[in-house]
């Protein structure tokens, strides 16, 4: 395995770490990145690689928010934090729509929608939706201002929005859930954190499914590429999550909407001129 291949894995990890948490679509960016930087591996491995490197991003959330998501305390005597257990039930409820659809039709969606044109359209459509929702909410006070105020109904609605990302790459899992949360009256910091926590079971489950389909017969070079990308994704994710939580305290998400629109147009133009 050449040093160039490791550098490619590092670059994929950087892109994953940045785009997983910003509402701009990590899967979409990885599909686009593969057009320009290709790993010298089989299509089966690359399909698995793009999903499993998200595990590094998951661990960033686990490390940063351990106290908020671990429901037990052992400082003086064992204590069960009921509010965290309730939060996890809400997170699991939000996972149901995407889990059901993903298990049944994942390969169909991957076959028909994992391409540049679909990604570009999803980038533009969700970008426009972000700008519309933010303008609509400009003078409104959020209905939900803490994680404990999120109801099971809210969680299921967020799960329905997340379903868009399961079907259309380029939609963005974080983008669709954040947009959905804003639309139903949840504050920016709260829906951002809920989205982070929601990623844990979703991305862990997706990684397990991909590994199960690919099998455990990794070559040494494939294992190095995968581990390298996951480590880089973890480090970059820690930085990006901290940045995003600081950013949204003073700003809205419209800038990400405009970014998505511009990128989507560029991708469509690129496709038009290179696939005549």
State residue 122 phi and psi, 5-degree precision. -65, -40
The residues near 104 (Cβ < 8 Å, ≥ 6 apart) are none
**Paired tokens of 103:** 């298990």
Question: Measuring CA to CA, which residue among 209, 206, 211 is closest to residue 165?
Answer: 206
Determine the pLDDT at residue 195: 94
User: pTM, whole model, 2 decimals?
Assistant: 0.87
Mean pLDDT across the stretch 169-183?
88
Per-domain residue ranges of the chain: 3-274
3-state DSSP assignment of residue 76: coil
Q: Which of 81-90, 159-168, 246-255 is the least confident region?
A: 159-168
Higher pLDDT, 24 or 102: 24
Question: What is the number of H-type helices and E-type strands within the chain?
Answer: 12, 2
Determine the pLDDT at residue 267: 86
Q: Which of 55-59, 102-106, 241-245 is the least confident region?
A: 102-106
Say whether pLDDT at 88 is over 80.
yes
Higher pLDDT, 32 or 148: 148
């Amino acid at each position: 395995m050449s040093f160039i291949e490791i550098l490619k894995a590092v670059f994929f990890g950087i892109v994953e770490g940045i785009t997983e948490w910003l509402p701009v679509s990590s899967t979409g960016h990885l599909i686009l990145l593969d057009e320009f930087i290709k790993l010298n591996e089989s299509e089966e491995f690359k399909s698995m690689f793009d999903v499993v490197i998200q595990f590094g991003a998951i661990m960033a959330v686990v490390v940063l928010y351990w106290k908020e998501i671990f429901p037990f305390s052992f400082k003086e005597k064992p204590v069960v934090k009921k509010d965290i257990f309730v939060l996890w039930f809400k997170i699991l409820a939000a996972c149901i729509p995407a889990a059901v659809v993903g298990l049944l039709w994942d390969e169909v969606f991957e076959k028909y929608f994992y391409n540049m044109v679909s990604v570009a359209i999803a980038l533009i459509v969700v970008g426009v939706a972000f700008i519309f929702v933010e303008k609509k909410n400009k003078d409104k006070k959020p209905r939900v201002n803490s994680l404990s105020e999120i109801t099971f109904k809210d969680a299921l609605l967020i799960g329905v929005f997340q379903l868009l990302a399961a079907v259309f790459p380029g939609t963005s899992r974080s983008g669709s859930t954040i947009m959905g949360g804003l639309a139903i009256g949840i504050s920016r910091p709260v829906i951002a954190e809920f989205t982070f926590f929601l990623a844990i079971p979703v991305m862990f489950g997706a990684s397990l499914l991909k590994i199960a389909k690919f099998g455990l017969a990794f070559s040494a070079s494939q294992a190095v590429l995968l581990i390298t990308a996951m480590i880089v994704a973890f480090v970059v994710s820690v930085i990006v999550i901290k940045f995003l939580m600081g950013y949204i305290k003073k700003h809205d998400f419209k800038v990400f909407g405009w970014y998505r629109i511009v990128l989507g147009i560029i991708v469509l133009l690129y496709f038009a001129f290179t696939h005549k």
